[in-house]
Structure 1
Amino acid sequence: METTKTISIEKEPENRVWCCAWGLIMPEQNDNSSEDDELTVAKLRPKEFVITGGIKPQLSIVHISPSEENKFPHEYSHQLPGLGIHNVALSPDSSCIAAVSLDGNLMLLSFEGGVRLPRVSHSQVSNVWSTAFGRTNDCVYAGSGSGHIYKYDTSVGKLQHNYDTHRCENVLGLAISGDQRLVGATDYAGNFTLLDGATGQILRRRNYKKPMRRLVYDPCMRHALAACDDKTIKLIDLPSGRLRESLAGHDAYVMSVAASPDGLRFVSGASDGSIKVWDVRTTKSSLSFVCATNSNLWDVAFNKLSNKISFVGDGKGLNIYYCLGNREMMLV
């Protein structure tokens, strides 16, 4: 019998948290150290943290299992201009945060220092809905309300490329391949669009009739995963862009989906608080549970070590589970 436990980071009851992303701080290697005690081992452990954004104009950063050696406090926040944050992405080295505000603004922040570029856009951008990084730190992508996807450099925010999906819809889901050759987008009208990252040419498009709210690529680039309002997760083959399977199991809108970095599992979350962890090999749900602490679930994420998941929503905000294989989930 599967068992589940949860730990919740307490928030105000009226708090609404809309997005989350995991980061990892790698330790500095000291070749001159010959110590082999617990203190040295602790210093060499990677430091995990979760970034969340919601109704308040700020980003919260929560360190998981902080220690005395951690130079950051357990939880702190960066105040932002404008309105609340509904979409967030983190660069591969966890140094740069891209955040999308409710007023359609894309901001870039330093992990340690806070807001670095308060507005990354140009006059042709109507509003930004989503953001994503590839596997490099020097550029960031933004999906707009006009069906365009913009690529900016992260140093000064200069526009590098403008991709047109030819669908004037809000780009809710955005995924970039590691080599930046495949740019994927899903929108509110249910369109999945796959573009060539070098030329901007549309390689594949299909309409699934219902809004598609999140899009991620499998780390091995075998397929894309899309969270859909028809209560399914679309499994789409790459690079062909053809539908492989429509995975049913949720009884409400699927709000978010995330793949584990090791490529073995993915997690999906629906608006009714139901969460499912899926096995990539079988495309079957290996774990399933309902979070009773959140009245509306908005986002889910896998950590960089592939052994924890987080999800956010209305109510108690951030929730974290520890994945123990395919048998159970327990508190961090």
Structure 2
Amino acid sequence: MDETTNIDQQPEHRVWCCAWGLFEGQPNDNCSTTDDGELEQGGNGKPKEFIITGGNVPQLKIVHISPNDGSAFPFEYTHQLPGMGIHNLALSSDNSCISAVSMDGNLMLVNVMGGIRLPRVTHCHISNIWSTAFSRNPDCVYAGSGSGHVFKYDTTLGTLQYSYDTGRCENILGLAISGDQRLVGTTDYQGNFTLIDGGTGTVLRRRNHKEPMRRLAYDQLTRYALAACDDKTIRLIDLPSGRLRETLLAHDAIVMAVDISPDGLRFVSGAFDGSIKVWDVRMTKCALSFQCGYTTNLWDVAFNKLSNKISVVGDGKGLGVYYCLGNREMLLV
């Protein structure tokens, strides 16, 4: 999110963030509830894809894009949340828990099926969270603050486990955690990339790129990181060294988001002007480029778990889904 955004001037329908999930079975119109109020999963046991979105209203929308007997296509439902709209979210590795950051700086944990788990996750009374991320361990969640700190919480009680200091008192816009939790990476509004040892809290590398860096993503094997930058570029960063490998001249507008496919072969970037590019990781060359014409301002892009679809969110229509097979794209939603 841009710090200068005027909430009073927002269009009626804005979607700011998205994430993909995948589980066996899918709820249908006749879902039953358990004693603790969570929905039981239905379906025929086949993998079911869903997309979580958050925007300028205080709710999370979950859209199931896989066909399901007995329910409409696509099937969708919402979880109402306290506070203001949701501008950043992450999904746990077991596809069960959503970590959501509200516009008023609160971090909330929400069960995908059952709704709010913890309406506020914090160790103090200051609401100043900007970003969130999971590692492969669903038992803990990370949050980047406006003071340059990253906080690690357990997902059961929401209590603080560890605090990391980037040494820069800036809004942490991008946050990425390695699967083994050994590398905590951040990018901030002043263009600082900071790499921290997840075990000791030691700053391993810091580099300033002068312009805001909005999103940060690691590949599955933690070989490299990608950062979306306001200077219209993508920074490709080697891991675990944290050294800059390459600066990709990516778009003609601010790069709002990047994401890496789970199979590690491609990554996607999206710019504020609605341009979307899919890149070949091996050659760092753009393999597919197209314009998302139905949205006025693009805010986020994400790969699905099967590495064959891309979700795009922004102003206007809100959510779009594209096939990503070879050099062809097809609008789904």
Same fold (TM over 0.5): yes
Counterparts of 1:277-292 in structure 2 under 5 Å?
277-292=278-293
Q: Which structure 2 segments of 5+ residues have no match?
A: 1-10, 27-42
Counterparts of 1:1-332 in structure 2 under 5 Å?
14-27=12-25, 43-68=44-69, 74-123=75-124, 125-325=126-326, 327-332=327-332
**Alignment-mate amino acid for residue 109 of structure 1:** V
Quote how far apart the aligned CAs of 1:26 are.
2.4
Quote how far apart the aligned CAs of 1:328 are.
1.0
Preserved CA contact (<8 Å) 1:126 1:146 = no
Preserved CA contact (<8 Å) 1:125 1:144 = no
Paired with 2:91 and 2:241, the residues of 1 have a C-alpha distance of 27
Paired with 2:12 and 2:97, the residues of 1 have a C-alpha distance of 29
The aligned length equals 306
Quote how far apart the aligned CAs of 1:319 are.
0.3
Quote how far apart the aligned CAs of 1:179 are.
0.2
Change (3 A) 1:197 1:70: farther
**Higher RCO (C-alpha under 8 Å, 6+ residues apart):** 1
Paired with 1:73 and 1:304, the residues of 2 have a C-alpha distance of 18
- TM (normalized to structure 2)? 0.89
**Alignment-mate amino acid for residue 15 of structure 1:** H
Quote how far apart the aligned CAs of 1:69 are.
6.3
The structure 1 segments of at least 4 consecutive aligned residues displaced by more than 4 Å after TM superposition are 69-73
Q: Secondary structure at the match of 1:93?
A: coil
Paired with 1:105 and 1:330, the residues of 2 have a C-alpha distance of 36
Deviation per CA, 1:193-248: give whole Å up to 9, x if none: 00000000000000000000000001121100000001001000000000000011
- TM (normalized to structure 1)? 0.89
Paired with 1:271 and 1:231, the residues of 2 have a C-alpha distance of 10
Paired with 1:288 and 1:148, the residues of 2 have a C-alpha distance of 36
Query: RMSD in angstroms over aligned alpha carbons?
Result: 1.7
Q: Which structure 1 segments of 5+ residues have no match?
A: 1-12, 29-41
Preserved CA contact (<8 Å) 2:16 2:55 = yes
Change (3 A) 1:84 1:146: same
